[in-house]
Structure 1
Amino acid sequence: MSPGLLGFVVVALIGFALYFLIKSMNKQMAKIQVPREGDADDRKAE
């Protein structure tokens, strides 16, 4: 007995959800500003 159409639909929905979650995560990661070591040294000098 095979999973059939229901199994395919469940796997497809999980795949779509994963795609949109990764897309959203990449957008959020792009917003993060990572301080560099040179920037920290410049602030200490001021």
Structure 2
Amino acid sequence: MYAAVLFIGVQNATTVQPVVVIERTVFYREKAAGMYSALPYAFGQ
């Protein structure tokens, strides 16, 4: 049971990696432009 839950967690983390990379780039660009800080971005997620 533990191994199954661990496997599903790792699989989900691996699946979301490309999305996080793209969103991080957008966040850095918009933060540098002064659009918002990290806290509103985190709440918006």
TM-score under structure 1 length normalisation: 0.47
Determine which structure has the larger helix proportion and give its number: 2
* Greater Rg over alpha carbons, structure: 1
Q: Does 1 or 2 have the higher relative contact order (CA < 8 Å, sep 6+)?
A: 2
